[in-house]
Amino acid sequence: MPRKKNRIIQVPVPEDLLRELDELSGKRDQSRSALIREACAEYIANLAEAEAVRRYIQSYDEMPETEEEREWAEMGERELARRLAEDEW
C-alpha cells in the first residue's frame, strides 16, 4: 500500500495544552505529531458517528415503526430468548 503524503501545517497552541500534549506523547512513547494526528482522526470519526446517529434518529422521527413492526420485533425477541434459554452453554 503506498504511503500517504503528509503535509506540514502550523497551528498555534496554548502553552498549557502543548505541555499536556508533550506529557501524553512521552507516556505513550509516540511523537507529538503522531498524537495530534491520532486525536484529529478520532475527533473526525466521532463527528461522523454522531452525524450517523442523528440521521438514524431523524429517520425514525420522520417514519416511526408501525404497531405491526413492533409486534414482529417483540415476537422475534421472545423467540430468541426462548431458544437461548434452551441452549446448553
pLDDT tens per residue across span 5-52: 889 999 999 999 999 999 999 999 999 999 999 999 999 999 999 999
DSSP H stretches of helix in 1-89: 15-27, 32-62, 67-86
pLDDT at residue number 72: 95
Sequence ranges of the domains in the chain: 15-86
User: pTM for this structure?
Assistant: 0.64
Residues 37, 41, 44, 49: what is their CA dihedral angle, to the nearest 10 degrees?
-160
pLDDT tens per residue across span 54-75: 999 999 889 888 999 999 999 9
pLDDT at residue number 15: 97
pLDDT at residue number 50: 97
